[in-house]
Structure 1
Amino acid sequence: DLEFIVTASEWEAFLLENNLIKQFKPRYNTLLKDDKTYPYVKLTVKDRYPKAVFTRRPEKDGALYYGPFVPGWQAKKNLRILQEHFRVVTCKDPLDGSRLRPCLYYEMGQCYAPCIKGRVPPDQYAAVVEEARLFLEGRTADLREELHGRMLAAARRQDYEQAAHYRDLERAAEFLGGRQAVARPGEGHWEYFALYGGGEAWVIHGFVVVDGKVVDRRRWRFDQVELAGEDLLAAMLTRLYGNASVLPDGVVVSHEFQDLPLLERFLSERKGRRVRVLRPQRGERAALVATLVENARLEFDEHVDPSTVLGPLVESLGLEGAPRRIECFDISHSHGEATVASCVVWEEGRMQKSDYRHFNIKSVEGIDDFASMAEVVGRRYTRLLEEGGELPDLVLIDGGPGQVNAAHAALVRLLPDPPPMAGLAKREEWLFRPHEPAPIVLPKESPALHLLQQIRDEAHRFAIAAYRRRRATARIASPLLAVPGVGPITAKKL
C-alpha cells in the first residue's frame, strides 16, 4: 500500500521529507550508509566543567556538536589537539570533585584536573573552553588574537608561567591555522561542494572555508545510485545540514538543482538568519569550485569502475554493453612529410602500453588524412585477424566524419560485422558515427566524454612521438642510401 500526506506548500513537503527520512531511516535510502556513522566532536558547554568527547549520535541536549568529520579519524585528531594544546577534558571520569589525585594527563600538562575540587576555577576553565570552541569552528585568527591579549595581560601581572603558556598556545594555533591553504579573501564560514560522476556512480568533494582559509575537507563516494547527480547533491546537503549543529554563513555548489531555493530557506530557518546558496559562474568562488571538481574527478578516476560511467556511450553509439577494450587511431605529419599513425589500447580502466603500435604510412603521398586512416585501420586489423588477436569493443578515431567514414570502409572490407566505431572531433569534442552526419553531443562535464578525450589525447601523444623520431631519422639519413646496392658503410665512405 502507498501512504501519502498532503501539505500546504512545497516548502512544508520539503521539511516533512527530511524529518521522515531521519525518523524512519528507509532501508533503500542511498544516503543512509553515508551519514549514520560519521563521528562528531561534542562540547558539553552546559556543564560546569565542559568536556570534549567523541560521539556518533547528535542529540538535542544543549551541547555543541562539530562535524560530521569525513574521514572519521579527523574527529579523534581534533580531540587530541584539544587535549594537548588546550587542556580540555576528553576522558570519561566524572568532574564532581571526588577524585583525590590528578591523573597522568595533568602531570603531562594536558589537563587542568577539574575532577579535583578547587584545582581550577570554573571561569578560568570556561575561558579555555571558549578557545577550544574558536578552534573547532575554524576561527584561528580570532583565537590567536584572544590568546595574544591574554599573554600580554599575564605578563603585566608578572605571571610569566601563564604568559608562556598563552604564548605556546598562540604559536600552536598559528601552526594549526597556517597549515591550511588560502582559498579566497573574505570573512565568515562558507562551505563548498563539487559533484563529479555519471551513471550510477558519483563523487562529492567539499571544502570548509573560514576567514578565507580552507580548514576542512570532506569526501563522499556513491555507487549504484538511481538519482540524477544534481538530485543526489541536493539530498546529501539536506541530510548533512539536517543533523549539523553549526551551520555555515553560505554554501557554494558546482551544480544548480531544482531545490536550491528550498535548501537556502531550510538553512536560513535553522540558523535564524539568511544563509546564501550560490552556484558561481566566475570569480574566485568559481575558481575554488573548479579545484574541487578536479579533486573529485581524480578520486573518481582512481576509485570508481570506469564501466559504470560509460553508460551514455551504450545508448548513444548503439553498443551491446559498456566497452571493455577500446582502440584509438591518430595520424601525425607535417605538410605530408613523414606521415605516421598510432594505435593505443585502453582496456578495463587502464592504458595497455604493451599493445601500442605505430605505423609508417606507405601508400599515401602528400597530405591525405582520410586515405592514411584507411591504410592504418586496414593494416591493423588484417594483422590482428591473421594472428587471431582480440577485436576491440569500440574503435575510436581521432577526427570527424571524413576520417570515420574512411576508417569504417576499410574495416568493413575485412569484417562483414565490424566492431562499433566512432570519431571524436577536436575543438567541438563531438562524437560521429560512420555515415551519420549528425553529431552526438555529450555534456562537457560527462565522465564518459572525459574518458574518450584521455584515450584520444594519448593516441595523439604517441603519434607525435613516432612522427618526430621518423622525421629526425629521415633528415639525417644520406640520400645515397636510396641508390640500389649502396649500404650504410659504402654511403659513409662516399
Structure 2
Amino acid sequence: MDLQEKIRTIPTKPGCYLYKNAEGVVIYVGKAKNLRSRVRSYFLQASQANAKTGSLMREAVDIEYITVDNEREALALENNLIKQRKPRFNILLRDDKTYPYIKLTMGDRYPKVFVTRKLRKDGGQYFGPYFPGNLAHRLVDLIHRSFLIPSCKVDLSRYHPRACLQYYIKRCLGPCVDGLTTPELYKQTIRDVQLFLDGKPQELENALTERMMDAAMNEQFELAARLRDQIVTVHQMQDKQRIATADNEDADVFGFHYEQEMLAVNLFHMRGGKIVDRRDFFWEDLQEVLSATLNDFGETPGNLGEPADAPVEVEAEAKLEPNPVVAAPEIEEEGERTQHTAISELGEAFSPKAFFSALLKQLYLDQSYVPRSVLVPVDFPDRALLSEALSERTHHRVEILAPQRGDKRSLVDLVCQNAKQSYDQRFRVLQPGMKAIQEALQEALTLEELPRRIECFDISHIQGAETVASMVVWEDGAMKKADYRKFQIKTVTGVDDFASMREVIQRRYKKLLDEKKTFPSLILIDGGLGQLHAAYAALEEIGVTLQPLASIAKREEIIYVYGQESDPVVLDRRSPVLHLMQKIRDESHRFAVSYHRKRREMRDRDSELLTIPGVGQLTRQRLVQHFGSVRAISQASLDALTAVVAPGVATKIRAYFDGVENGNGAAPDKAAPVLRVLS
C-alpha cells in the first residue's frame, strides 16, 4: 500500500506514529491527539518544499501507529518508544550522568548494599535518588560502619574459609564465613537499614532502644554499645533532615545556550532552597533533528509556535523565548518583541519549546522522584499535559513553570549564564580544570572518593615470548614517573594475558598490604572484561574486595567498572575524562612495549655470546658483569678478555668478533641483525 493511501486509513484517535525508512528502521516517533491530522500535516509541509520536514519525508517509506485512550497515555508511550528505538530524527538524551540510588539486594540469601545508577526489576529494593551524588556514598559508608552490611563482591551464596579485611575492621557482620553471624540477626539488621533508608527514624529508634535494653539486661554489653551508636546515628540524621526541610521546596531549574547548530543545556537541582548539584547536556549538528521535531508543533516560518492540534498565543510564546546567542535573556515588555524578531534570532531550525518538550519527557517520565517545581526558560504547548502526567505518577503536584519576571526568572537567567560557560568549555575547546576532570571521573565511574592516584597496568609480549608488564601512575593531575614499575612475568608460560595480569596485580598489591601502604584511588587495566576479572580475582585472593577497579578497551574506548560490567561507561569522544583515561592507558602501553623491547634486545645479545665455542652460561654471565654489555666485550682487547676468562676462550671470543667485523661470515646468521642494531 502506498504511504499516502495508508495515511487515509489512520484513525483520528490519540496515539503515537512511527516513521520507517527503506530498511525498516524507525527514524522518527511522534505523538498526536489526532493521528490522521498530524501525519497528514507532514505531507502538506513537504509539498510546500519546507526544509524543516524535507529530510525526514525523503527517507520515510512506511508508517506505523499505536492508538491509546488519551493524550496522557500517548505522552508516556512516545517517551518509551523513543528510548527503545532511538530514532535518528528525534531529540535523544545523551547524558552519561544519572541519579544515584542505594540498592539492597533483597533477592540474595545475605543482602548487600550498593550505590547504583540503574533501576532494574531484579528483586532489589531501591532508595533515592540522592543529591549530590556523593551523598549516596556517604550513606552507604554510614551503613557499613553502623549496621555492618557489606558492599563487597564476595559470593555470599556459599561459605568461605576466612573472612575479608572488612570483618576484622568491624565494617561487616561476616556472612561469608559460617558461624560469624546468624540469618536471623542479619535479617533483623536489614530491616533496620530499610527503616533507616525509608525515612522512618522514630520506628527505627524505638526498635533499637528496645533491643539495646534487652542486650544490657543479658549482659551483652558489646552488642548494647553497638545498638547505642546506631541510635546516635539515627538522631544525627534526624537533625540534618529537620534543617534541610525547614527551607524552601525542591526545584529543578533549566537554562540553555544555542549557537551554530550546537546546544548546551544546564540543569540545576535545588533541594531545600539550596543548589546541591548540576548536570550538563550537549548536542551537536541539531539542524536535521530539530527540523523534524518542529512539525509536532506545526511550526512554519509564517506560523511560529502554533501546534497542529491546539492553537497557542503566538506573541506570548515568542516573548518567552530567550535569545540563543545571549546567555541570560532579558524579558521584554508586551509588544516589544514581535514574531518576526523571534524567528530571526532563533533561526528557522531551532525551536526551544519543541526541544524542552522532548527533553523533559525523557528526563522525568521514567523517574521515581520529580521535584514539585520545574523551571524552564521557554513555554511549550504540552506543558500542562506533562505536568498532569507527572503529578499522577508521583502522587504529588508537579508544576512546570516558564517564569517571565521576578526571582524565579532571575534563577533561570543564572542557569542560562552557566549554560553559556558550559558551551564555551565544550565547543570552544577550553580545557577544564583538573579538579573538574577529577570530579567528572568520580561521577562517571561512581567512585566513593575523588580520584587522586590512578595506577594503570598493561601486558606486552610477542607470541608469549619475554612477557612483561608495566605499571604507570597518575597522581594529582600529572604522570608520576618516579613511581613507575616494571614486572617480569615469572609463573606464566605461553600466551595468557589473563594469567599474566593476575600475577602482576597480586604481586603489586600483596606487597602494598605487607608494607601497610595506601592503595590507589583507582586501578585501571588496559584491556577488556577478561583482564578486568583476572585482576579482581588476584585482589580477592589477598582479601581486597572493595578496591575500585576498571578497564578500558582499546578499540571501542569503553570503560568497564567491576561490579557494573553490564552497564559499561561510554563517554563522549570529546570528554576530558575519556582523554585522561586514554592518556594514562597509552602511557602504560608505551612503557610496557619499551620494556619488552629492551628485554628482547638483552635476550638476543646474551644468546649471541652463547654461539661462541667455549662460552657457556657462567662465562657469559662473568663477561657481561665485568664489561657491562656485548658491545664492550666486542671492543675489548685480548689482554682485557684474558683477565676475565681463560686464554683459550679469550682467543676464541676475539677471533669471533674480528671475523664479524671483517664480514667473513664467522658469526651465525641469527646474530647478524642483532649486530647491525648494536653498531
Normalising by structure 1, report the TM-score.
0.48
Query: Which protein is bigger by CA-based radius of gyration?
Result: 2
Normalising by structure 2, report the TM-score.
0.36
